[in-house]
Amino acid sequence: MLKIKDLHANIEDKEILKGINLEIKAGEVHAIMGPNGSGKSTLSAVLAGREEYEVTKGEVDFGGSDILEMSPEDRAREGLFLAFQYPIEIPGVSNINFLKTAINETRAHKGQEAVTAKEFLALVKEKSALVELDAKLASRSVNEGFSGGEKKRNEIFQMAMLEPKLSILDETDSGLDIDALRIVANGVNTLKSKDNATVVITHYQRLLDYIVPDFVHVLYNGKIVKTGGKELALELEEKGYDWIKEEVDAVS
Amino acid sequence: MTTTELTKKDMLLESLNELDFSNEPQFAQDLRSNAKNALENLEFPTSKTEYWKYTRIGKIINKTYGIQHEASDSNIAITPYLIPELDANIVVLVNGFFRADLSKIENESGLNISSLKDAVNNSNPFVENSLGKIAKAEKELFIALNTLCYTDGVAIEVDKNAVIEKPIHILNITNSDNLISNTRTIVKAEENSSIKIIESFVNLQGNESFTNNVSEFFLNANSNLEYNKIQNKNGESYQISTEQAYQLKDSNFTINTITLQGTLVRNNLNIEVDAEGCETNLNGIYLGEGKNHTDNHTIVDHLKPNCNSNEVYKGILDDNSVGVFNGKVFVRPDAQKTNAFQQNNNILLTDDAVINSKPELEIYADDVKCSHGSTIGQLDDEAIFYLQARGVSKRSAINMMITAFVKDALDRVSIPALKNYIDLKIDSRFN
């Protein structure tokens, strides 16, 4: 579904990603872990199409098309979803209305008919229940006045509404208490199917107790330096990142 | 300098001198000759004139204009200028003249709408007593110019206790190039009455034409008057628009100024609040594009205690457009317990767009609540990216954010069909 080959990316002439290789297939859950500043958020930003990052080398193939050539909205319409680490507050723009536009523009992109008001409302009801998001919150301005936990639940609500092929959760666990974490994880797990895939970017192993990964990758200094199963996350939790840094630094 | 300016004024007056008002009743002729005298002492503003500091009117006064001498009978399709789904009395002015044939007026009980020219010629007592009483020729050159040579306009009287549900929509159309037109509106809302008016300034061709219009609003005790001004002239067009209102006890005056297009638009709003218990709302939206210049000058003069005024102006300036906002609130020594709130927010879409924003308060009473604020910003790129990342096109994302930004300046538009119409105009502009 997603093939990243030798991806290099800069921000303001500073190289952050230094040759990422990663393949994700449908039905899989991948976790990307790593110390601060290793490039985790840069990777998600580059995949989602943030303009500040310049891709200097490499390829990213998503479902057969070169994603790096696409606008952020076209990537989303093709089925890529990024759950933001810091969801943005947008006063005056209704959460529901913007999602309706997003769904209809995506449908138009695929040559499908617009969703009817009735279908849409049914969808909102069903999906907001999934993440226990109050219907009132769903129809308020995007994230305005939401608590940290509500913002993250709203991200998963939007993900549920848009039904992406590939979801990247960027530090979705940051700032969540254990109950909110469980609700968010439950939402993600319910949406999981053999046709979609999830990438969980996180610092801590805690989230991976709830969203169990098939693969764990360690990102360090702009490269994936280690890949393993879910037990790698436990090992990192126990031993920290220093042993990996030493391993990598010794080789280079 | 002085001689060249005089020449410009003389040149402008020369073409207007062709207008013949000799058949008018004496009061009307007196008003005009008084304006002529006032003009002797008034000069075109320059960049040194504080009231006009950010607006150069060279574009307007360095041209020669033609005039229309009487109403024509040319057929004009007015449907494109109507507001969909709005049941209104339609009053059509073309090139400065009332057109009965294009208008659709049903005077219901308590309401009297007529052409100003007819009202003047019939010596309508209200018009005779009130015309020029608050928009005084000696105060301002463009008021004087209008008073000297207004050709026609609209007179509206709402009787005591008459609550008029059906809005009046004045279509002020220009359809000749290089034309100057001076129209005038005068409205009186009697005690306990209520009226809603829309005036659209539009053009059909009408390139390089100049509209200099003046409106006077008289609000008697406990009356309610809403005036919605829609400025939507394309091509090269100039407008100087003066609205003067006078409020008596417990009256409620709302004026919404929506500037969608126009090369050079200057709005002068002056509201005298001369009794207790009044409410005044002044809201505005201006959308600048190309090299358009939009200037909103407002004055609210609180003379008596226990009144509220609220003002919200929102501007979106694109390309090389320029916006000017100058909102002045006076709170006179008697006007204790005044609440005056004023806000001007702007978004500049490009590095070349300009806004000059100047909120001013002059307070001479000591027990008042007054606030003012002005902001200038750009659209939040993070928010645009967030919306894009959900599949919304960049264009739609920008449009959503602009609509959200200007929305609260439309809160006081109480006619739903008009609100939809403005929403759609804003949407289509940014889509």
**Averaged in consecutive runs of 10 residues, what is the pLDDT profile of chain A (252 residues)?**
95 93 96 91 95 94 93 96 94 92 95 94 92 82 91 94 95 87 91 95 89 94 92 89 85 69
- Given a cut of 70, whether residue B152 has pLDDT beyond it is yes
Put simply, the answer to whether A90 touches B401 (Cβ < 8 Å) is: yes
Q: Is residue B430 part of a domain?
A: no
Overall domain count for chain B = 1
ipTM computed for the complex:
0.95
Q: Minimal Cα–Cα distance from B345 to chain A, Å?
A: 14
Asked if residues B303 and B276 have their Cβ atoms less than 8 Å apart, the reply is no
DSSP-assigned letters across all residues of A27-75: T-EEEEE--TTSSHHHHHHHHHT-TTEEEEEEEEEETTEEGGGS-HHHH
Residue A251: strand, helix, or coil = helix
Q: Does B383 touch chain A (CB under 8 A)?
A: yes
- Residue B146 sits at the vertex; the CA angle it makes with B140 and B147, to the nearest 5 degrees, is 85
Q: Does B393 touch chain A (CB under 8 A)?
A: yes
Nearest to B317 by CA among B365, B352, B344: B352
Q: Is residue B398 part of a domain?
A: no
Put simply, the answer to whether B407 touches A98 (Cβ < 8 Å) is: no
Asked if residues B192 and B165 have their Cβ atoms less than 8 Å apart, the reply is no
Instruction: Give dist(CA A97, CA B71) in Å, integer.
Output: 48
DSSP character for B205? S
Put simply, the answer to whether A102 touches B380 (Cβ < 8 Å) is: no
Residue with tokens 């997603």: A2
pLDDT at B5: 52
Q: Minimal Cα–Cα distance from B82 to chain A, Å?
A: 28
Sort residue B290 into left (φ over 0), alpha (ψ -120 to 50) or beta. Answer: left
pLDDT at B1: 47
Residue with tokens 């190289």: A15
Which of B382, B391, B396 is the closest to A88 by Cβ?
A: B382
Go through B18-50 and write b for each residue having 16 or more CB atoms within 10 A of its CB, e for each that does not.
Answer: ebebeebeeebeebbebbbebbeebebbeeeee
DSSP character for B163? B
pLDDT, tens digit (0-9, with 9 covering 90-100), for B129-140: 999 999 999 999
Instruction: Give dist(CA B220, CA B193) in Å, integer.
Output: 8
pLDDT at B4: 54
Put simply, the answer to whether A102 touches B392 (Cβ < 8 Å) is: yes
Q: Is residue B71 part of a domain?
A: yes
pLDDT, tens digit (0-9, with 9 covering 90-100), for B337-360: 999 999 999 999 999 999 999 999
Per domain, the residue ranges of chain A are 2-251
Q: Minimal Cα–Cα distance from B378 to chain A, Å?
A: 14
Q: Minimal Cα–Cα distance from A220 to chain B, Å?
A: 26
Domain that holds residue B235: 2-384+407-421
- Given a cut of 90, whether residue B15 has pLDDT beyond it is no
- What is the arrangement of strands in the sheet containing A223-228, beginning at the earlier edge strand? A80-83, A166-170, A197-201, A29-33, A215-220, A223-228
- Given a cut of 80, whether residue B3 has pLDDT beyond it is no
Distances (CA, A) of A187 to A126, A143, A154, A157, B78: 12, 18, 11, 8, 56
Asked if residues B391 and A73 have their Cβ atoms less than 8 Å apart, the reply is yes
For strand A53-62 and strand A65-66, is the pairing parallel, antiparallel, or unpaired?
antiparallel
Q: What percent of chain B shows pLDDT beyond 70?
A: 98
Instruction: Give dist(CA A143, CA B205) in Å, integer.
Output: 46
Residue B147: strand, helix, or coil = helix
Optimal mutation site among B379, B392, B406, interface A, most CBs of chain A within 10 A = B392
Nearest CA in chain B to A74: B391
pLDDT bucket at B150, cuts 50 / 70 / 90: very high
Q: Does B385 touch chain A (CB under 8 A)?
A: yes
Q: Minimal Cα–Cα distance from A5 to chain B, Å?
A: 23
Residue B224: strand, helix, or coil = strand
Asked if residues B388 and A98 have their Cβ atoms less than 8 Å apart, the reply is no
pLDDT, tens digit (0-9, with 9 covering 90-100), for B183-208: 999 999 999 999 999 999 999 888 99
Q: Is residue B401 part of a domain?
A: no
Nearest CA in chain B to A143: B383
Nearest CA in chain B to A103: B391
Q: Does B221 touch chain A (CB under 8 A)?
A: no
Q: Does B396 touch chain A (CB under 8 A)?
A: yes
Asked if residues B281 and B255 have their Cβ atoms less than 8 Å apart, the reply is yes
Residue B220: strand, helix, or coil = coil
DSSP-assigned letters across all residues of B51-68: GGTT---HHHHTS--B--
Asked if residues B264 and B239 have their Cβ atoms less than 8 Å apart, the reply is yes
Give the mean pLDDT of chain B.
Answer: 94
Q: Which fold has domain A2-251?
A: Rossmann fold (3.40.50)
Q: How is residue A160 written in tokens?
A: 């549920």
Q: Minimal Cα–Cα distance from A234 to chain B, Å?
A: 32
Q: What type of residue is B429?
A: R
Q: Minimal Cα–Cα distance from A247 to chain B, Å?
A: 37
Interface of B with A in 153-212 (CB under 8 A): none
Instruction: Give dist(CA B322, CA A234) in Å, integer.
Output: 60
Put simply, the answer to whether A93 touches B386 (Cβ < 8 Å) is: no
Put simply, the answer to whether B388 touches A71 (Cβ < 8 Å) is: yes
Residue B98: strand, helix, or coil = strand
Put simply, the answer to whether B393 touches A162 (Cβ < 8 Å) is: no
Instruction: Give dist(CA A57, CA A94) in Å, integer.
Output: 39
What would you report as the CA-atom Rg of chain B, rounded to the nearest whole angstrom?
21
Return the number of other C-beta atoms located less than 10 Å from residue B183's C-beta. 27
pLDDT at A137: 79
Measured between beta carbons, which residues in chain B are less than 8 angstroms from residue A98?
387, 390, 392, 400
Residue with tokens 């009455």: B193
Q: How is residue A90 written in tokens?
A: 């947008």
- Given a cut of 50, whether residue B371 has pLDDT beyond it is yes
Measured between beta carbons, which residues in chain A are less than 8 angstroms from residue B388?
49, 71-73, 76
> What residues contact A136, with CB distance under 8 A and at least 6 apart?
none
pLDDT, tens digit (0-9, with 9 covering 90-100), for B312-330: 999 999 999 999 999 999 9
Put simply, the answer to whether B389 touches A48 (Cβ < 8 Å) is: yes
Residues of A with CB under 8 A from a CB of B: 48-51, 71-73, 75-77, 81-82, 84, 87-93, 97-99, 101-103, 105-106, 109, 141-142, 158, 162
Instruction: Give dist(CA A220, CA A178) in Å, integer.
Output: 28
Q: Is residue B427 part of a domain?
A: no
Backbone angles phi, psi at B328, to 5 degrees: -115, 135
Measured between beta carbons, which residues in chain A are less than 8 angstroms from residue B392?
73, 98, 101-102, 105
Q: How is residue B70 written in tokens?
A: 């009487």
Q: Minimal Cα–Cα distance from A30 to chain B, Å?
A: 21
